[in-house]
Structure formats: structure tokens, C-alpha cells
Structure 1
Amino acid sequence: MSYGDSSSLIGTELDALSGRMRTESLKVLLDHWRVIKGPLLMPSRRQIDPVEFGAALPRIWLCDYEQDSDRFRYRLTGERVAKRFGHQLSRRYLDDNTNPDYYPRVHRYYRNVVDLPAALYIYGRLYAETSNPIHGERLLLPLSDDGRTVQNVIGATAEIVSTDSDGERFLPEYQKHTYVALETGAVIEESLPV
């Protein structure tokens, strides 16, 4: 597929990011985001068309970034996300639904998506702070009304069901974060123990 960023370093790096993804729902969301952003730095929330990624909707979430309070408030969450937390997250804050010991780490990577701005792909153990972590992947993408300042972050979280050689459920002991900076195409990677 051809995108508005296809002939740029940013496009090359976003292609590489897509190539790492193991679940179709994340790929579909990234494809839609790239189509609606065209050659711009990032698209706006109003451009999103959920019909274009309908199969991914149960895994999708959308947050507003409230700059004055430096908080992320969920605007909507898909069924699987709500089920994971045991309730709808709409109108609730990220810090209200994240273990206080893990919140600084989670807030930092959300803020990196806003501040760089960047597309972020996370692979490894997710929900590590809970009693039921998963092996999965997560995508966070910035949205902007003016094309420069991030007001929203849209994302998806998907489980990867796999077993080790003994047939036991596989859970990585790390998270790998890969950022693609949207202004330069620079790739920033970090691997964090969980």
C-alpha cells in the first residue's frame, strides 16, 4: 500500500514497524492512521473512520491529553479493553486505572508519544503489574487538530497466544519499546525488564 509518507525516512521506519507487528488489529490501525495522515505529521481525531478498522475496535482505546493537568483521560475503549479492567474506562483517567508503582513508567511512554511526537510499538509482557499479565503488543499513535500539537492518543492492545517448549503459556520478562519520531524518522528503542 502507498501512503503520503511512503517516499520518506519516516515512511520507511513506519513500514519496518508494521513488519514487526504480529497481530492484524495493530497493522490495520497503523494502516488507517497512515492513510488519513497523508503527508502530514499526524492526523486529527475527526479524520478517524472506525469502519476502516472495525475488526480491531474491541482492542482500541482513545485518550485525550489534558496538557494543563498532564493527564490522559479515556474518551472510549473497546470491549476487550473494558473487559480487561472490569469496567468501561470512558471518562476515567489513565492514573486511575494503572497500578501506582507502574504509573510513572506508563505515563512516561504516553508522554513520549506526545512530546516527540512519535508512533510507539510495544512488544512483550503487558499488564505486567496485574495478576494476569499477557504476552502481547501495543500501538500508540498521536492525533492533532492543528497537525503539530498532540491532543489525543489512539491505540490498541492485542494478546499474542503462544507457548514455550514445555507447552506452558509464554510470558516474556521484558517490554521492548520502539518509537518512530514523526518529525525526523529517528528510531528510539529501549528494552525494559518487567
Structure 2
Amino acid sequence: MSGPERATAGSPASRLGRVALRNSTESVLGNGVLCRAFDYWTRIRNGAAMPLRRDLDPMDMGPALLPHSLLTDVDVAAGSVRHRVVGTNFAENFGRDITGIDLSEVLRGSYFDFVHGLFMLTCKEKLPVFSHSRFRWDEGRMLRTSRLMMPLSRDGRNADMAIVVQVFEHEMPPVLPRVQIFENGSWRDISEQYAFFAVDAPVL
């Protein structure tokens, strides 16, 4: 593309592209908290594949995002996920503080398989992953939850952390989980890979 067709940063084509992406993101995420989180992650990565851990500033995130945020260490090779920093909204819904605890000690069964798989996908592909599904804790409660997982890096090469922003709703969840991955500048539906976590599937 050359001459007047090139979409430079301030060109009408570039602005239209940003508007289209924002509209698409709002349609997919469907929640203002998650949209703000995606905007923040996009801003601090500053054109790189993903932000560095040091780019993440809790003061910059503020009270609109921090209670809904979860910072995790992710070791793809070992298949481990450990909760490093946990927002207050998680403690309220999990019924306890899960700071410093491995994901395998918090979740079990198909729910562990589902969430663990999302973490691995996020960090293997170094891409944001959105999911909308049921949330079930060992007290037998059934909630609806939407989560956005976004990769972070300590060294600028490997995705060894993830920031998760998650909201909970006291409503009936979808029968099948909805999962989308952000790649090549757009959201792609990969829900069919997660049909095993249907609403009537056993969790524990």
C-alpha cells in the first residue's frame, strides 16, 4: 500500500480501523470493566506483542480495575499457574484469599481443566483470551462470569505472567462457554474447543 492509501497513525483509514476494533471489542467483551482492561493492556504494550511486567502500574489501573484483577505467574513448560496478586472481588467470590496459591489447589475437575487451558493458551500464543462461562465454587453456587486474560513478560520474549480481569454476575450462566482469542488485530471465536465445560457437565 502506498501514497494516499497508506493507513498512517493519524489517517482517516487508521481512525476508522481503531473505531472498528473498539466496536468489535465492546461487542465481544460486553462489559465496561473488561473493555477498560483491554484498552489499558493495549496502551501499555505500546505496539509490542505484550507489555513488560514493569509496565503494569497499579496506580494507573486504579479502583475501576484493581478489585477485579488477578496477577499470576505462569510456567507453560511446567503447566503451573500461581496467584501472585489477587483483587478483593476474587476473595469475595471464592470465599477466601487465594494469594500465593497454585491454581491446582483452588480449582478441580472440569473447571480446573477449562481455566488452566485458558491460561496456557494465553501465554503460549502470547495473546489475550476472553471467556464467558459458568463459575462454580465448592459451595455449589452457580454464577455467570466473564474473564479477560492478557499476557505479560518479564524479559520481553516469554509470556511468563498473565493479568486477569474478571467480573461475576448472579445470573444463570450460558449453556456452553464462549471463548474468543485476539489475534491479528481481531477477535476469533474458538468456543467449540471448550464444549466439554457445558453448564451441565460435572465440575468437581
Bigger CA radius of gyration: 2
CA distance change for structure 1 residues 130 and 41 in 2, over 3 Å: closer, same or farther?
farther
Given residue 175 of structure 1, which amino acid in structure 2 is its aligned partner? P
Runs of 4 or more consecutive aligned structure 1 residues displaced over 6 Å after TM superposition: none
- Structure 2's unaligned 5+ residue stretches are 1-8, 200-204
Distance, in Å, in 1 between the alignment partners of 2:119 and 2:30 is 22
Please list the CA deviations of residues 82-129 of structure 1 after superposition, one character each: whole Å capped at 9, or x if unmatched: 122222111100111002343222211211111112111112323377
Q: Contact 2:76 / 2:124 at 8 angstroms: preserved in 1? A: no
- Structure 2 SS opposite 1:131: coil
Length, aligned pairs only: 181
Q: 1:48 aligns with which of 51, 56, 59?
A: 56
What are structure 1's unaligned runs of at least 5 residues? 162-168
Residue 34 of structure 1: CA displacement? 0.6
Question: Is 2:30 the partner of 1:22?
Answer: yes
Moved more, 184-193 or 143-152: 184-193
Q: Which residue of 2 aligns with 1:138?
A: 147
Cα RMSD of the aligned pairs, angstroms, is: 2.8
Change (3 A) 1:67 1:110: closer
Higher helix share: 2
Query: Structure 1 pair 104/135, CA: closer, same or farther in 2 (3 Å)?
Result: closer
TM-score normalised according to structure 2 size: 0.76
CA contact (8 A) 2:68 2:89 kept: yes
> Quick check: 1:64 aligned with 2:66?
no
Q: Secondary structure at the match of 2:177?
A: strand
Q: What TM-score do you get using the length of structure 1 for normalisation?
A: 0.80
Are residues 1:190 and 2:191 paired?
Answer: yes
SS at 1:118 equivalent: coil
1:20/1:61 Cα in 2 relative to 1: closer, same or farther (>3 Å)?
same
SS in 2 for 1:174: coil
Cα gap change, 1:31 to 1:133, in 2 (>3 Å): same
AA partner of residue 190 (structure 1): S
Shift of 1:136: 2.6
Q: Could you tell me how far apart the structure 1 residues matched to 2:151 and 2:130 are?
A: 12
- Separation in 2, partners of 1:126, 1:18: 22
Amino acid at match of 2:44: I
In the alignment, structure 1 residue 104 sits paired with structure 2 residue 113: yes
Partner of 1:172: 174
Highest RCO, 1 vs 2 (Cα 8 Å, sep ≥ 6): 1
Q: CA deviation at 1:47?
A: 0.5
Contact 1:23 1:160 in 2 (8 A): no
Match of 1:158 among 167, 176, 181: 167
Conserved? CA contact 1:17–1:121, under 8 Å: no
Contact 2:74–2:119, Cα closer than 8 Å, also in 1: no
Identity %: 22
